[in-house]
Structure 1
């Protein structure tokens, strides 16, 4: 890029002039910054990075020109937006949804906070047996009572 070299040299000269003016006014720190900023374009040109940045800018401007006038590109931008929204929403839903498989698959995991609340089984009196307590439905609580006793909860 032969056009870039004169631009870089003129920017370097401008930076050196500004640095000299700042130096004369006693602002030594700002003068050093201006000199560094002035020689930066020449360094970028000599390393080839300026041409790379220039080509990227040209490619970006071409893409932006096609973006404005091409409906297929707008459809692609829309799909990218949908993908980003779905990714964010999916992450939020995954964070709010508990991992049920790991909790439910554990054989002896207590079901804390899961399902409807059940009434506590009536405590058996000293002499009464479980079979002799208040009729039907008490046998359903036997398993629960046994599980609670195993866990030390009464």
Structure 2
């Protein structure tokens, strides 16, 4: 049904007349303020017809209904909704990963902003094992599994 197929003047005038009758009842039961407010609401349908705003309201309503029915019944739109959900999920996951990177960098005493940027070289960890001693003499080399043994001991595995 199109806008021009409906007899809007009698419809608007009828709604306004019924509203004014109900406004009189509101005035008798709840007082002058309630009656005036109800009369103001009752005059809006006729005012919308006379100013041409009724056609705009019709166009907005039909556009909303068209959008909703297109959304509900279109597989392509649902694919778009799924892609939007995946995008939002990826934003949340990447934010959590960035937060972990920043907290690890803070715990290690490194610059947290530099650690969060991809491609930024990280400070090498201190070498586990024998360190050179002043005077040029090196201690005997420890076996290569000492750092692994330390990790296992900290976790309660021996």
TM-score range normalised by the length of the shorter chain: 0.5 to 0.7
- For the aligned residue pairs, the C-alpha RMSD in angstroms reads 4.1
Contact residue 23 and residue 38 of structure 2 kept, 8 A: yes
CA 1:19 to 1:117, structure 2 compared with 1: closer, same or farther past 3 Å?
Answer: farther
Partner of 1:22: 26
Contact residue 12 and residue 49 of structure 2 kept, 8 A: yes
Correspondence 1:134 to 2:139: yes
- Alignment partner for residue 57 of structure 1, among 46, 58, 61? 61
Separation (CA, whole Å) in 2 of partners of 1:130 and 1:33 = 98
- Alignment partner for residue 37 of structure 2, among 33, 36, 40? 33
SS in 2 for 1:25: helix
- Aligned-pair CA distance for 1:135: 4.2
- List alignment gaps of at least 5 residues for structure 1: 138-154
Q: Which has the higher contact order (CA 8 A, sep 6+)?
A: 1
Separation (CA, whole Å) in 2 of partners of 1:64 and 1:41 = 25
CA 1:136 to 1:66, structure 2 compared with 1: closer, same or farther past 3 Å?
Answer: closer
1:74-106 per-position Cα deviation (integer Å, ceiling 9, x unaligned): 222222211321232122123223287x52469
CA 1:52 to 1:93, structure 2 compared with 1: closer, same or farther past 3 Å?
Answer: same
- Aligned-pair CA distance for 1:50: 1.1
Partner of 1:85: 85
1:113-150 per-position Cα deviation (integer Å, ceiling 9, x unaligned): xx98975987x9xxx6173352458xxxxxxxxxxxxx
